[in-house]
Amino acid sequence: MEMSVDGGQGEANIAVDVPVPARRLVCLRSGDYLGVEGRPVEVQVDLCRRGDGSFSIVGLPGKSTRESRDRIRAAIRNSGFRFPTLKILVNLAPAARQKEGAGFDLAIALGILIASGSVRAPGLEERLGGMGFLGELGLQGEVRPVRGALLVADCLAGQGAGEQVFALENSTEAVLVGGLEVFGVEHLRQAVDVLRGERGPTVLPRKVSVCEAVPDYAEVVGQEATKRAFLLAAAGRHNILLSGPPGIGKTMLARRLGGILPRLSREEAVETLRIRSAAEGETGCELSRIPPFRSPHHTVSHSGMVGGGSRPAPGEVSRAHRGVLFLDELPEFSRRTLEALREPIEERQITIGRASGVVTFPSDFLLVAAMNPCPCGYLGHPRRPCTCGPRQVKSYSRKISGPLADRLDLHCRVAAIEPGSWLEPGAISPGLDSRTLCRQVASARERQSRRWGGALLNSAISVSRLLDAGRFTSDSLAVLRRVSTPMALSGRGFVRALRVARTVADLSGTQDVGEEAILEALSYRAAVDGLEES
């Protein structure tokens, strides 16, 4: 037995040379992910005495995985263990699939220690079949978090890994899978202690957080008509476009929409966290019942919006899943980026094909867009003159294509209000607040659930089913037929007007959709200034 003292951390570490057989193979479970789905990977570590001390990793490892050899060697030595002077061959199975990420470090290091005999425990070989490992190693042996921990944990659980050893920062994600015994470790030595049966307390399931920090609509005064439009949008999940001069509260109204949307169920909260786990990794993934609110800047790239990259990652349309995607200054987004929104709006998912494979991301979001009526922003303003020429106004409006505008159910003009009137006591009533609107949304959605079944909303119902069970009166349909030609409604616009009218009726609590509901729905189909000419 040889003892060595590592004074780098002021600790005495014992390195032991243990005789090993001429050949030793150890297999551990780990994984990576593609899209928002985890993929199991078996880490096979083979040690051979008749070797030159080389350390090879095969099985189509990516760059960060190939670089793990030096990290693992330093981590093992700096953790007080003797790195074996044998030929080490690591295979990441299945070998035909590209592997990415540094999450295999922990499994590879533990495999080397077990195969070399540095880590022994009764029944260890049998236990390994029901265990999973994930974590990146630092040079001092610290275990760092990686992206996709929730996805990998769920995948390994499906493969029978009931015990999982993860980086401490990732362990609170892994425990959300349920039915697992998760050990959060901060250092390689702690992971070795788990293998030896010297277990500390397992990670407890994280509670669902309900943060009430969403701003209230009561803070917005004088915009009751626009609040009504947002009420319709939230009740039936209808996409909405706001148009109006700058500084009148378009962004202010949009950012309060999350306060009137129903809270996510636990399953939906975990679903959104899966996307965040793949997109953000360890950067603050918290389980929350508040619907996501994403507001990308208009300079966002095409792949940043819809997802992509050599290893496809979710974009903004997926990170807004089950929540709100807010696009401020809509015409300033690139035309290619805006046109890419058509598929996720219609299909509620986005499919991306790359050399590494075809990935489908969920993207069921409520789109809220805002724009000025012209480049200077003051076209139609009651007090400030517009400085744009007709050609500039037309060019600006044509940045929003007709097909995209047609997919926005509610076109709402937001009127300018005299700021001085806010200072006069009682001049403007606060109007509807978020709590009142939230109750109305909940009631309308309950009616839709009873009618359509499950969690289906009016915006997702087919036209045949809508006409069959939507209870439209003959007079209301006659009104819609009569005005559809003068308004130049497309087939899509016709159907979307029906859906909005059904939501209007649900908010009023009526079973039948009458003429008033149809007329209100059509008032929101009136095109925003100039869009009908694009």
pLDDT digits (tens, 9 = 90+) for 118-140: 999 998 988 999 999 999 999 99
Output the domain CATH number for residue 43: 3.30.230.10
Output the domain CATH number for residue 272: 3.40.50.300
Q: Is the pLDDT of residue 352 over 60?
A: yes
Contacts of 102 (CB under 8 A, 6+ apart): 64, 65, 67, 68, 71, 136, 137, 144, 146
Domain count, the chain: 2
Question: Do both 176 and 221 map to the same domain?
Answer: no
User: What pLDDT does 14 receive?
Assistant: 47
Q: Is the pLDDT of residue 520 over 90?
A: yes
Secondary element (H or E) of residue 251: helix 250-254
Question: Do both 177 and 277 map to the same domain?
Answer: no
Last-in-domain residue among 195, 226, 259: 195
Question: Do both 185 and 289 map to the same domain?
Answer: no
Range of the domain at 179: 15-195
User: What pLDDT does 381 receive?
Assistant: 85
Question: Do both 234 and 178 map to the same domain?
Answer: no
User: What pLDDT does 73 receive?
Assistant: 96
495 or 416: which carries more pLDDT confidence? Answer: 495
Question: Do both 248 and 161 map to the same domain?
Answer: no
* Lowest-pLDDT range of 171-180, 271-280, 416-425: 416-425
3-state secondary structure of 405: helix
Amino acid residing at 433: D
Of the pLDDT bands very low, low, confident and very high (cuts 50, 70, 90), residue 280 is confident
Burial 216-245 (b: 16+ CB within 10 A, else e): ebeebbbbeebbbbbbbbbbbbbbbbbbbb
Q: How far apart are CA 301 and CA 356, in angstroms?
A: 21
Angle, alpha carbons 24-30-34 (nearest 5°): 140
Q: Is the pLDDT of residue 533 over 60?
A: no
Question: Do both 46 and 166 map to the same domain?
Answer: yes
Q: Is the pLDDT of residue 100 over 80?
A: yes
Q: Is the pLDDT of residue 180 over 70?
A: yes
Please state the pTM of the whole predicted model: 0.87
The alpha carbon of 289 is separated from its chain's Cα centroid by a whole number of angstroms, namely 13
pLDDT digits (tens, 9 = 90+) for 360-379: 999 999 999 999 999 998 88
User: What pLDDT does 85 receive?
Assistant: 87
Question: Do both 144 and 248 map to the same domain?
Answer: no
Of the pLDDT bands very low, low, confident and very high (cuts 50, 70, 90), residue 222 is confident
| 5 part of a folded domain | no
Question: Do both 175 and 224 map to the same domain?
Answer: no
Of the pLDDT bands very low, low, confident and very high (cuts 50, 70, 90), residue 9 is very low
- Residue 321 in tokens: 């899943």
449 or 52: which carries more pLDDT confidence? Answer: 449
308 or 207: which carries more pLDDT confidence? Answer: 308
Q: Is the pLDDT of residue 498 over 70?
A: yes
| 483 part of a folded domain | yes
272 or 53: which carries more pLDDT confidence? Answer: 272
Last-in-domain residue among 143, 163, 195: 195
User: What pLDDT does 81 receive?
Assistant: 96
pLDDT digits (tens, 9 = 90+) for 403-413: 999 999 999 99
Q: How far apart are CA 453 and CA 450, in angstroms?
A: 6
Average pLDDT on 262-283 reads 85
User: What pLDDT does 423 receive?
Assistant: 59
* Average pLDDT, rounded, for the chain: 88
User: What pLDDT does 19 receive?
Assistant: 54
Nearest partner of 182 among 170, 192, 190, 193, judged by Cα: 170
Question: Do both 391 and 446 map to the same domain?
Answer: yes
Number of alpha carbons in the 13 Å side-chain half-sphere of residue 460: 19
Q: Is the pLDDT of residue 218 over 60?
A: yes
Q: Is the pLDDT of residue 13 over 60?
A: no
pLDDT digits (tens, 9 = 90+) for 228-246: 999 999 999 999 999 999 9
Residue % of the chain over a pLDDT of 70 = 88
Of the pLDDT bands very low, low, confident and very high (cuts 50, 70, 90), residue 260 is very high
* Lowest-pLDDT range of 193-207, 216-230, 307-321: 193-207
Q: Is the pLDDT of residue 517 over 80?
A: yes
Amino acid residing at 55: F
| 56 part of a folded domain | yes
User: What pLDDT does 240 receive?
Assistant: 97
Of the pLDDT bands very low, low, confident and very high (cuts 50, 70, 90), residue 200 is low
